[in-house]
Amino acid sequence: MSNSIIKSAKAVIAIEKNALEDLENKIDGEFVKACELISQCSGKVIVIGMGKSGHIGNKIAASLASTGTPAFAVHPAEAGHGDLGMISRNDVVIAISYSGESDEISMILPVIQRAGVKIISMTGNHSSSIAKAADIHIDVGVKKEACPHNLAPTASTTATLAMGDAIAVSLLTMKGFTPDDFARSHPSGSLGRRLLTFVTNIMKTGDEIPLINPNATLSDALVEMTKKGLGMVIIHENMNLIGIYTDGDLRRTLEKTQNLNDLKINDVMTKDCSAILDSEPAIKAVELMDGKNINSLPVLDKNKKIVGAINMHSLMQAKVV
């Protein structure tokens, strides 16, 4: 039984893989026209599909919206009962029907056409009524479904989904959509947090900054380091950065001497240390710490004055790491 299951599953993957390979040849002038039409659209992209095509349409609309092309899906049956009001003259409609003969879509297309809305169809039959009614037709036909009865939408929905992704990514490229743009539409996701969280949002400020002057003793520095809990002290004069001393530096100091009472922080601090501006994305702090193999950084403002401190733990708490 297990062998037959594996054989069946591999056959599905093989059929759908072949369908995707065939799909490459369907990226033609009509595809280009569709992308150009959508890129010039001053309204939104409305995706309509019935049944399995509707589920695929939901995903295509979501992909478009998240990559810089305003879009949403409308159920064709609901459209005939008032939701057509969501579609305006400046919009573009993508009608998905593998047969190209969906009754629910065919019934509302004349209304959409009379409103002057441009229509892109995605079907497996260029001679179908929906394909003929559209301004632009994109062929998503497949040789056969992965279903052994050649009935259940499988390879065809995979091909349609891939074609939708191809449209979304092509538009993304045409618009110069950047990772920052992506993050702004995904503020709750990990990428959004990484790109939209700035050092100033999570740094320690005010009395939380471990500060000490260069004439202080090492013992005083260790008290401040322990009190503030950032694994470092920042040495300054009038909030100008002079140096830094970390718990790693302490271990190296202890390897050289056991007598800490006579040492001044100025004797053991690291001068010309790394720092980061408060206006930088927090992910830049991660990259700087990783590159320098350090765990904490002083934070400076545009005038190079100390305004905060940040360490890897702060970045982890903010889920930047």
pTM for this model (two decimals): 0.68
The domains found in the chain, sorted by start residue, are: 2-177 (3.40.50.10490), 196-317 (3.10.580.10)
Structure tokens at 69: 């092309």
pLDDT of residue 150: 87
Residue ranges in the chain modelled with pLDDT below 50: none
Is the Cβ–Cβ distance between 160 and 53 less than 8 Å? yes
pLDDT of residue 189: 59
Q: Tens digit of pLDDT for each residue in 199-208?
A: 999 999 999 9
Q: Tens digit of pLDDT for each residue in 117-167?
A: 999 999 999 999 999 999 999 999 999 999 888 889 999 999 999 999 999
* E-only strand ranges, the chain: 45-49, 71-74, 92-96, 118-123, 136-139, 211-212, 232-237, 240-246, 270-271, 276-277, 296-300, 306-311
